Amino acid sequence: MDMKVAKKKLGLKEKYRLMTRDLGWEPTYRAKDEVFPYVNYEGIKVHDWDKWEDPFRLTMDSYWKYQAEKERKFYAIIDAHAQNNGHLNITDARYLSALKIFLQAISPGEYAAHKGFARVGREFPGVGTQVACQMQAIDEIRHAQTQIHALSNYNKYYDGFHAFADARDRIWYTSVARSFFDDAMSAGPFEFMIAIGFSFEYVLTNLLFVPFMSGAAYNGDMATVTFGFSAQSDEARHMTLGLECIKFMLEQDPDNLPIVQGWLDKWFWRGFRVLGLVSTMMDYMLPKRVMSWREAWEIYGVENGGALFKDLARYGIRPPKGWDDAEKAIDHMSHQFMLGLYQWSFGTSFHSWIPSDEDMDWLSAKYPTTFDKYYRPRWDHIRKLAAAGTPFKNFGLAKLCQTCQLPVVFTEPDDATMSCHRETEYKGEKYHFCSDGCQHIFDNEPEKYVQAWLPMPSLFQELDGDIGAWMNWVSLRDGEDNGDYSGSRDQRNFDQWRGMATSNT
């Protein structure tokens, strides 16, 4: 008879090691370079993948269990939301513009992150790193899908949602977000991690996620806020992965520092430009506002970001190069953006509008040094034109920045009366930029950015400037999806349906 031998007690860390990194092995029948072909060309040196600290220790059985619980809750709530006309509980249908932009520009980004993390989840030669990336890959497809599912019911009743897949690939403003994710995915595995894992998920995510989900909560959007709560614990895992990744790279070899710093400079500015859309949502698109973009920047940018870069200073990391320019832009960007969106609203699959008196008073209070001085007069002028029956429309060609793909609508960091415009000549061609930050990014990798697909020039080359043909091509329904909210079908329907739901008429 066997003697019963007591089993060794395994600590959590040791047990997780056996469940993950002990599964891998050094290949001997094939060269390691063949199995992991992309890990060296960026110049990042890793001496010991075993030094990787697992940012979280989750085995698949627990993953399935926890995630399934969250899924059950999420779908129960959005089913109820759909069944009970939850869309009529939002503050006002103007709010939906924020969701339309989200579905067209951000949810496809979740999907891109899913693909990107699957790729790096295969390309890194360390099992611990791979497993963490793979879990993020499967989480990100969850986010893409739950967002589509949460917004699907709005599509049945409101315009602007129906062609999100076409808009993702063809409409002009989504290429801001698309080019951002394409840029990260076309980079090597380490740069991808700094771009998405660290800069986006760690440094900038709170500026995107918290305002959006709080905006949903403030404006009665049960579907979106449920998604937000459900994704929160995933996001927490993603943040720890992003942070571990940058620390790991910096600890492995001092030669990695300048490369990582360069990526941080680049991706901070890239991300900051994408967030311009969020600033507009916070300051202009929420009928019930959460806080101003300036206030959000103070909390999630200055305080959190400041603490983070202080923490990373021991590795020799300094705050990203564009940080000061970003700070100078904060009090201007949402206004400049919304003015742009309003004048090009013929070409957006969401509505914009002229802020009301009450809106403008709020904006003056939140932006005391800039709004009344620079932007209120312009809105007043636009309002006069609208009242006279000659609304301000710009059908002209918006000049787009070659890097971030936003229209060149910003002003000089130190002079809000001067429009900011930069140019680089490369191989006989002129390229335009919205800022020093974007110009630097181009100058560091011109061969990459000359490839950018710029939606407006393409439109004018291929469709001869035929706006109707362009609208068909992007599946934009003129008079329904686009233009001023005031007088739109969304406004009419929402007011009528809400009347049906709240009175006896």
Partner 1 sequence: MQIDLRTVSIQPLRQTFDHLARRFGDKPASRYQEGSYDIQAAENLHYKPTWDPDQELYDAKITKIVMQDWYALKDPRQFYYSTYTLARARQQDATESNFSFVESRGLADMLPPAVREMALKLLVPLRHAAWGANQNNTLICGYGYSTIFTQPCMYHAMDNLGIAQYLSRLGLLLGDTEALDEGKAAWLEGSAWQPLRRYVEDTLVLRDPFEAFVAQNVALDGLLYPLVYARIVDDYLSAQGGSAVAMLTQFMTDWFDETKKWVDAVLKVAAAESDSNRAVLQDWIRAWSTRAASALLPVVEIALGAQADDAVGEQLADFRVRIQKTGITL
| Residues between 166 and 205 that touch partner 1 (CB under 8 A) | 166, 168-170, 175, 178-179, 182-183, 185-189
Please give the residues from 21 up to 60 whose contact with partner 1 meets the rule CB under 8 A: 22-25, 27-30, 34-35, 37-38, 41, 59-60
Nearest residue (CB) to partner 1, 111 versus 410: 111
CB of 64 to partner 1, least distance (A): 4
Rounded to whole angstroms, the Cα distance separating 404 from 174 reads: 11
The sign of the dihedral angle between the CA atoms of 113, 115, 117, 123 is negative
Q: Does 351 bind partner 1 (CB under 8 A)?
A: no
CB 189 within 8 A of CB 39: yes
Nearest residue (CB) to partner 1, 95 versus 300: 95
Closest listed residue to residue 482, CA positions, set 395, 376, 401, 388:
395
Query: What is the distance, to the nearest Å, from the Cα of residue 25 to the centroid of all Cα atoms in its chain?
Result: 37
Q: Does 376 bind partner 1 (CB under 8 A)?
A: no
Q: Does 463 bind partner 1 (CB under 8 A)?
A: no
CB of 497 to partner 1, least distance (A): 5
Nearest residue (CB) to partner 1, 324 versus 462: 462
Please give the residues from 484 up to 503 whose contact with partner 1 meets the rule CB under 8 A: 493, 497, 500-501
CB 222 within 8 A of CB 316: no
The sign of the dihedral angle between the CA atoms of 270, 272, 276, 277 is positive
Cα torsion through 183, 184, 190, 193, rounded to 10? 160
Nearest residue (CB) to partner 1, 186 versus 419: 186
Among the listed residues 94, 126, 129, 159, the single contact to partner 1 using CB under 8 A: 159
Nearest residue (CB) to partner 1, 54 versus 325: 54
Nearest residue (CB) to partner 1, 358 versus 447: 447
Q: Does 284 bind partner 1 (CB under 8 A)?
A: no
The per-residue DSSP string of 92-156 comes to -GGGHHHHHHIIIIIHHHHHHHHHHHHHHHHH-S-HHHHHHHHHHHHHHHHHHHHHHHHHHHHHH
Nearest residue (CB) to partner 1, 390 versus 502: 502
CB of 379 to partner 1, least distance (A): 31
CB of 458 to partner 1, least distance (A): 8
CB 391 within 8 A of CB 385: yes
Six-digit token pair at 307?
A: 């603490």
Q: Does 128 bind partner 1 (CB under 8 A)?
A: no
CB of 256 to partner 1, least distance (A): 18
Q: Does 331 bind partner 1 (CB under 8 A)?
A: no
Locus of tokens 């009344």: 372
CB of 10 to partner 1, least distance (A): 7
Nearest residue (CB) to partner 1, 353 versus 449: 449
Query: What is the distance, to the nearest Å, from the Cα of residue 395 to the centroid of all Cα atoms in its chain?
Result: 27
Rounded to whole angstroms, the Cα distance separating 66 from 82 reads: 25
Rounded to whole angstroms, the Cα distance separating 481 from 496 reads: 18
Among the listed residues 56, 57, 63, 412, the single contact to partner 1 using CB under 8 A: 63
DSSP element (H, E) containing 353:
none
Length of the chain: 505
Rounded to whole angstroms, the Cα distance separating 142 from 480 reads: 31
CB 490 within 8 A of CB 484: no
Q: Does 398 bind partner 1 (CB under 8 A)?
A: no
CB of 248 to partner 1, least distance (A): 20
Please give the residues from 68 up to 127 whose contact with partner 1 meets the rule CB under 8 A: 68-69, 71-72, 74-75, 83-85, 108, 111-112, 114-115, 118-119, 121-122, 127
Among the listed residues 49, 52, 102, 164, the single contact to partner 1 using CB under 8 A: 164
CB of 246 to partner 1, least distance (A): 20
CB 209 within 8 A of CB 274: no
Size of the site for partner 1 (CB under 8 A): 97
Nearest residue (CB) to partner 1, 189 versus 347: 189
Rounded to whole angstroms, the Cα distance separating 465 from 52 reads: 54
Q: Does 270 bind partner 1 (CB under 8 A)?
A: no
Please give the residues from 238 up to 267 whose contact with partner 1 meets the rule CB under 8 A: none
Q: Does 347 bind partner 1 (CB under 8 A)?
A: no
**3-class secondary-structure state, position 73:** helix
Q: Does 223 bind partner 1 (CB under 8 A)?
A: no
Within the chain, how many helices (H) and strands (E) appear? Answer: 24, 4
Closest listed residue to residue 147, CA positions, set 100, 194, 203, 215:
100
How far apart, in Å, are the Cα atoms of 15 and each of 11, 12, 22, 177, 240? 6, 5, 10, 40, 20
CB of 115 to partner 1, least distance (A): 6
Among the listed residues 233, 381, 453, 478, the single contact to partner 1 using CB under 8 A: 453
Among the listed residues 240, 424, 458, 491, the single contact to partner 1 using CB under 8 A: 458
Nearest residue (CB) to partner 1, 64 versus 395: 64
Q: Does 430 bind partner 1 (CB under 8 A)?
A: no
Closest listed residue to residue 444, CA positions, set 459, 428, 433:
433
**What is residue 20's DSSP assignment?**
T
CB of 37 to partner 1, least distance (A): 8
Q: Does 357 bind partner 1 (CB under 8 A)?
A: no
Q: Does 315 bind partner 1 (CB under 8 A)?
A: no
